[in-house]
Structures are given as structure tokens and as C-alpha cells.
């Protein structure tokens, strides 16, 4: 069985795109958040448009238009029906959908997503809506089976934590060959009803990290992501399977630490939150810029998980929560600009479907085909073969064929079945083959032992019978009478002591070594080259007037004694390092009395000095 993905544009023949829908919700005015009593800075114009006072000019206003604008009096039910409910049917078609709340801290994001027991938010209403859609489809008897599951996680300080089974382990984020985002180790809980979801979701929500700040009594310190997975499988062949995922995201709000008064751990948390939201804005800017450039999804774990929601293959809805008070003016202004940019992002949804493809038939032996036609499982076949091998009577062993036919037949049958069995069953078969081989060895040893005893008994009986009685002596091997050739033995003569003769005075001839000759030649060549260079270096001075030569040398000496670092670097063959060395020597030793004193500085040899003088005098004459 093989699986293949069927995209929606291939199935329908047209390429579908879906723009990110943006809804803006205005939180009710709170007097305690406006100590100066300045009133609201945002006003609703119609169901899609709002205006905000221009901070550059208080007499002007800036207008924004979105897909939906929810005013202060909008209920939770109206937000769900207008913004979230239209994207839920896509889940049952094998497509992804996502809803995420964005806005500053204290603007009402968690209230919009979670709500309360009296006014449930987007998450409980969306999950209930998914169950209602599945029940309606099951009543239609279209031949599909549905299954629903959930996963719940939070991103706290750039760590992915499982809320269904809380632990301090940071879960990794992976991507498969189809560019689907996966989290290995994340708990996936099957759901049977909405009450079953409620029993898992409420305890997991209490595991989310929250804390109190100056602007929010119960501030979310992490981004929470709820994943609802809907899988529908076709009952009849080809058993198609479609998978749809719903991401419900409650983002932590951006914070101004000067106003929230964060310190210590709260300051570290707000830094991680602001960094991830900044990366989210960079992703939006990159997607709007177009041109196929790099989109920084991997710069943050939040954007990595929202990769499918922004510029991916999901039907996305962003609910931007804003506050009306003047104390939230710049946070509201920034959130509206982000929402306006997000409205331009275009996603490309497709159907995630796997279709069973018939596997390639492998040519099998006749015994395997017969075994396959019988429709019996492999284990049963092995048992039957074992029984037959045990029931067959073993023939008496013969001297000319020391093998057991039943063992051989069993070995052949096992080797044929070994090729088409899974790995777990192969281990058992290997063990059985080893046992059969050991039995075969034991049988062969018994057969050979029986043959030896028979031969001995036959010989004994023949010795006792009178027919084979003889008076001849037993045969013995005679010793050879041929003379063996004698080996030649080494003859060692005794040492003869001779009287030592006095040494004669011989003339000793010393031959020069090759290495010394080569060194001597190299020295002679180097001396010749130095001599030629000296001739060249001294030859150019003879062509110049002596007064001009002295005047140029005096100018060089004057620069060396009184010139700055820049002046010294202006000389030929003097870089930054040598200029600093000259300044240091001058401060310690004083002025140079003659140009030849430069050889006292490290790195300046007589040869370099002559080339330095020549280069500078010629450059002065050229200028």
C-alpha cells in the first residue's frame, strides 16, 4: 500500500488562493485604564471601517478598513459567527485552517479566544462547531468514517512545552518531506465528544504560564496553540484518507517594560515575547515584499509553527484586539498597522489526501502461491509444516546417505517461506532453522557412529569364526637395509694467533663533502648578487648631482626627526607599523643623526635602507 498527496488544484483543475482574513475587535472602555480622563482614541465608522486620531496632528484622523470590525458591544457569538465559523467546513475536506488573536497586553485576546463559562470564546465554540459538522456528515451516510483528536502546547521563553502532559522538556520542531510542520513527542488525545474535549482542555489551560503585571492582572506569559485534527477515511476502496488541522492560537501581547514594571523573570519573559512578535512582523513584511526572497520562519519557534498559517496552505483568520484608551495609543496604532499588512498575505490551500495504490506484485515460487491462495496466515502455515514434519515417520538411517529426509524437507520449506515473512517472524524462523541444523548434525554423527560399531562387530565376528583362522604371524613393517647417506659436517679449524704488526704511517687524504661544497657555492653566488646589487644601488647615485643628493637626504632626515605619523607614512616603503616604530624610537633615543641610523630599528636592514633611500630620493626628484 502506498500513499500519495492530492492537491486541490489538481482535483478541481483550478489553482485556489485564499487571502488572510483580518478582523479587529475593540475592547470596551475602562475608566481605570484612563486616569487622565482623555476618553477614547478609536472610533467605529461602520462594520468594516474605523478611525484613530493621528498622533502627528491631533486635528486629523487615520482610517483603516478590514474584513470585519467588532465594536465594544459585539458579543462572543457574533465574533464566532462572522469570523470563525465560515472556515470550519474546510477541515472536513482535508484542508487546514487557523485562527489567532493578536494585540497588545490587556487588549482582550485571551477573553476572545477562551472567554468565560457564561460567555465562551472562539476555542470552545469552534470545537463544538467541528463536532456538529462531523455529526451532520455522519447522518448523511456518505461512506466516510471520522475521527477527532487534540494537542495543546505553549511557547514559553522560546521553549515548546506540552500542556496535556506538562514537563520541563523542550519539544523539537520538524518538517517532513511534504513541508508539513511536526512536533515529535507532542501528546495527541483522541476525542469522542465535546464534553470529552472539555475534560482535557480545562486542566491543560491551568498549566499555561500566567503572571500579574501593572497593566494586566492575569497576563499570559506564553503563546498557546491548540491543534484540532480531523481525519476522515473512506470505507470502500480505494480507502481515501483526508486530514484537516485547525490551529487556535492565543498569542501573548507585546509589552512596554517601562509601563508594565517588569523585572527579573518577568523582564526575561517579555523579552522573549517581544522578540517572537518582532519576528512575526518580519515574516509579514517579507511575504508582502514578494520576489521569492527568504522568509524568516526559522528565526522564531512561533513563526515556525505559524508557517502554514501565514503564506502557507491554510485558511487563516487573524483577530486583532485593540484598546480604546489613550494610554494604549501607540500599541493600538502599531497593532492596526500590523493587521493592515497581514491583510495582504495570500495563502494557497490544498487537500491533504492519501490514496491507496496497489503495490507491485513480486514473482513468487509455486509453493508460496499455493500458500497465498489458501488464505491462511504465515504462522499457521509454519505450524502445519511443523506438524507434518513431526508426524512423518523417520526412515531408518543408511550408511550411504547420512541425512534425515524430514529435517531436509523442513529446512527447504523454511527457506522458501523466509523470503516473504516480516522481520519479527524471520527471527523465529532463524531459530527454528538453527535447531534443525543441530538435529541434522546429531543425526549424521549417530549414523557415522553406528557404521563404525558395525565394522568393528563384523571384524570381531570374522576373527572368531574358523573360516578366517590362520597361523601366519602378524604383519610388521620391516626396517630398510639401504645405507643412508651421511650428512656433511662442518669442519671448524682452530683459531691461529698471529703477531700484530705495527701500524705504518700512511698519508691521509681528506675529501670535501658534497654539502659543504654546495654551501660554499651558495655563499659565493649570494655574495656575487649582493655585490651586483650594491653596484646597482651605488651606480644610480653617480648619475645625480651631489648637492641634489645631499639635499634630498636632508629632507628625508628632517621628516624622520620632526614628521608626524601621517608624514612618516607618506614616505616610500614606510607603512603604519614602521612609522609607529620610528616614532617610538624617536621618543626614547631622540633624533636621527643620519639616515643610516634607521638600521637600528627592528626590521630595517642595510639592504632595505638603501632601497628606501633610493625610492624616496627618486620620488622627490619626480615630484
Say if residue 103 carries a ligand binding annotation.
Answer: yes
Residues 6+ apart with CB under 8 A from 561: 586, 591, 592
pLDDT tens digits, residue range 170-200?
899 998 887 788 899 999 999 999 999 999 9
Is 190 within any annotated ligand binding site? no
Q: How far apart are CA 185 and CA 177, in angstroms?
A: 19
82: left (phi over 0), alpha (psi -120 to 50) or beta: alpha
Q: Which residues of the chain have pLDDT under 70?
A: 1-15, 168, 211-219, 257-259, 262, 356-412, 414-427, 447-543, 623
Rg, Å, the chain Cα set: 49
**Using CA atoms, how far apart are residues 597 and 494, in angstroms rounded to an integer?**
82
Q: Cell for 439?
A: 538435529
Contact at 8 Å (CB) between 61 and 54?
A: yes
Measured CA distances, 340 to 103, 285, 343 (Å): 13, 11, 5
**pLDDT at residue 398, rounded to an integer:** 41
> Which regions of 241-325 does DSSP assign to beta strands (E)?
241-250, 314-322
Residue 110 marked in a binding site: yes
Tell me, what's the pLDDT at 490? 54
CB of 414 within 8 A of CB of 397? Answer: no
Give Cα separations from 558 to 254, 379, 561, 563 (angstroms): 66, 105, 5, 7
Which three three-digit cell numbers place residue 163?
500542556
Assess contact for 250 and 223: CB atoms under 8 A: yes
- pLDDT, position 123: 95
> What was the pLDDT predicted at 187?
93
For 321, the 3-state DSSP assignment is strand
279 is in an annotated binding site: no
Q: In order of start, what are the domains of the chain with their CATH numbers?
A: 18-355 (3.40.850.10), 546-621 (1.10.150.280)
For 275-360, strand residue ranges (E) read 314-322, 346-347, 353-354
Asked whether residue 112 is marked as a ligand-binding residue, the answer is no
Residue-level pLDDT at 121: 94
Residue 3: predicted pLDDT: 43
Has 105 been labeled as part of a binding site? Answer: yes
What pLDDT sits at residue 464? Answer: 43
Q: For residues 619 and 573, what is the distance between their CA atoms, to the nearest angstrom?
A: 11
Amino acid at each position: 500500500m502506498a500513499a500519495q498527496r492530492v492537491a486541490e488544484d489538481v482535483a478541481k483543475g483550478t489553482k485556489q488562493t485564499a487571502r488572510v482574513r483580518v478582523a479587529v475587535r475593540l475592547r470596551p472602555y475602562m475608566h481605570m485604564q484612563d486616569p487622565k480622563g482623555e476618553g477614547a482614541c478609536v472610533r467605529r465608522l461602520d462594520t468594516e471601517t474605523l478611525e484613530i486620531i493621528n498622533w502627528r496632528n491631533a486635528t486629523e484622523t487615520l482610517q483603516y478598513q478590514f474584513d470585519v470590525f467588532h465594536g465594544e458591544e459585539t458579543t462572543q457569538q457574533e465574533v464566532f459567527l462572522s469570523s470563525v465559523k465560515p472556515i470550519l467546513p474546510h477541515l472536513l475536506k482535508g484542508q487546514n485552517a487557523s485562527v489567532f488573536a493578536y494585540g497588545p497586553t490587556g487588549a482582550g485576546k485571551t477573553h476572545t479566544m477562551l472567554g468565560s463559562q457564561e460567555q465562551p470564546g472562539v476555542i470552545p465554540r469552534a470545537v463544538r462547531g467541528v463536532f456538529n459538522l462531523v455529526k451532520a456528515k455522519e447522518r448523511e451516510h456518505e461512506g466516510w468514517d471520522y475521527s477527532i483528536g487534540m494537542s495543546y502546547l505553549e511557547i514559553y521563553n522560546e521553549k515548546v512545552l506540552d500542556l496535556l502532559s506538562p514537563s520541563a522538556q523542550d519539544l523539537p520542531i520538524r518538517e517532513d518531506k511534504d513541508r508539513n510542520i511536526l512536533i515529535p513527542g507532542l501528546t495527541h488525545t483522541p476525542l469522542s465528544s465535546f464534553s470529552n474535549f472539555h475534560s482535557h482542555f480545562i486542566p491543560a489551560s491551568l498549566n499555561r504560564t500566567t503572571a500579574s503585571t501593572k497593566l494586566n492582572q492575569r497576563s499570559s506569559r506564553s503563546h498557546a496553540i491548540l491543534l484540532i485534527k480531523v481525519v476522515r477515511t473512506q470505507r470502500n476502496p480505494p480507502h481515501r484518507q483526508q486530514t484537516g488541522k485547525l490551529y487556535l492560537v492565543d498569542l501573548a501581547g507585546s509589552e512596554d517594560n517601562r509601563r508594565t514594571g517588569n523585572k527579573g523573570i518577568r523582564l526575561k519573559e517579555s523579552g522573549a515575547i517581544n522578540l517572537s512578535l518582532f519576528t512575526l512582523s518580519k515574516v509579514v513584511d517579507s511575504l508582502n515584499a514578494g520576489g521569492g526572497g527568504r522568509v524568516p520562519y526559522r528565526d522564531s519557534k512561533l513563526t515556525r509553527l505559524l508557517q502554514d498559517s501565514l503564506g502557507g496552505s491554510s485558511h487563516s483568520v487573524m483577530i486583532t484586539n485593540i484598546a480604546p484608551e489613550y494610554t494604549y495609543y501607540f500599541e493600538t496604532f502599531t497593532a492596526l498597522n500590523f493587521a493592515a499588512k497581514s491583510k495582504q498575505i495570500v495563502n494557497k490551500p490544498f487537500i491533504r489526501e492519501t490514496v491507496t495504490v496497489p503495490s507491485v506484485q513480486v514473482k513468487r515460487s509455486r509453493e508460496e502461491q499455493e500458500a497465498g491462495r489458501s488464505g491462511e496466515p504465515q504462522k499457521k502455515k509454519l505450524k502445519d509444516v511443523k506438524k507434518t514434519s513431526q508426524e512423518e515417520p523417520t526412515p531408518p538411517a543408511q550408511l550411504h546417505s547420512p541425512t534425515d529426509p524430514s529435517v531436509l524437507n523442513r529446512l527447504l520449506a523454511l527457506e522458501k517461506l523466509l523470503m516473504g515473512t516480516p522481520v519479527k517472524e524471520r527471527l523465529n524462523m532463524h531459530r527454528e532453522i538453527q535447531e534443525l541444523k543441530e538435529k541434522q548434525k546429531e543425526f549424521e554423527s549417530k549414523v557415522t557412529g553406528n557404521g563404525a560399531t558395525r565394522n568393528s562387530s563384523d571384524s570381531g565376528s570374522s576373527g572368531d569364526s574358523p573360516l578366517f583362522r590362520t597361523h601366519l604371524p602378524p604383519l610388521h613393517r620391516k626396517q630398510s637395509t639401504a645405507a643412508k647417506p651421511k650428512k656433511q659436517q662442518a669442519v671448524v679449524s682452530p683459531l691461529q694467533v698471529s703477531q700484530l704488526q705495527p701500524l705504518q704511517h700512511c698519508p691521509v687524504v681528506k675529501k670535501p663533502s658534497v654539502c659543504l661544497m654546495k654551501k660554499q657555492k651558495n655563499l659565493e653566488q649570494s655574495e656575487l648578487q649582493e655585490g651586483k646589487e650594491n653596484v646597482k644601488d651605488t651606480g644610480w647615485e653617480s648619475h645625480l648631482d651631489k648637492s641634489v643628493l645631499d639635499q634630498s637626504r636632508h629632507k628625508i632626515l628632517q621628516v624622520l626627526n620632526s614628521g608626524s605619523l601621517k608624514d612618516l607614512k607618506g614616505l616610500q616603503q614606510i607603512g603604519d607599523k614602521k612609522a609607529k616604530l620610528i616614532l617610538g624610537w624617536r621618543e626614547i633615543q631622540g633624533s636621527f643623526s643620519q639616515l643610516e641610523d634607521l638600521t637600528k630599528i627592528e626590521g630595517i636592514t642595510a639592504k632595505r635602507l638603501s632601497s628606501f633611500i633610493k625610492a624616496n630620493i627618486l620620488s622627490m626628484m619626480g615630484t
